[in-house]
Amino acid sequence: MLRALVAALAVLLLVSWPALTARADDPTCEELPEAEVEARLREVRGFVRHHEPDTRHWATAFLSLHLTMVGVQLSLAITADNEGAQVDGWVGALSSTLGVATLLISWPSLVGAGDAIDALPTGSPEERRYALARAEQRMRRASDQVAFVRSPFNTILNALYLGGAASFSLIGWQRVTGAFILAAGGSIIAQGRVLLLPTGIREEWLRYHRRHPDAGCEPLAVSAPSVPTSVTILPTGLGASMLVTF
Say how far apart CA 35 and CA 125 lie, in whole Å. Answer: 10
pLDDT, one tens digit for every residue, the chain (246 residues): 444 444 444 444 443 444 444 444 444 456 788 899 999 999 999 999 999 999 999 999 999 999 998 998 888 888 888 877 787 778 888 888 888 998 999 899 999 999 999 999 999 999 999 999 999 999 999 999 999 999 888 888 877 877 777 776 767 666 777 677 777 777 888 888 999 999 999 999 999 999 998 887 765 444 444 444 444 444 434 444 444 444
The total of other beta-carbon atoms located within 10 Å of residue 157's CB is 18
Please name the residues in contact with 109: beta carbons below 8 A apart, sequence gap of 6 or more. Answer: 138, 141, 142, 145
Report pTM.
0.73
Say how far apart CA 49 and CA 113 lie, in whole Å. Answer: 8
In this predicted structure, what is the pLDDT of residue 30? 63
Say how far apart CA 106 and CA 219 lie, in whole Å. Answer: 25
Q: CB of 75 within 8 A of CB of 42?
A: no
Sign of CA dihedral 94, 97, 98, 101: negative
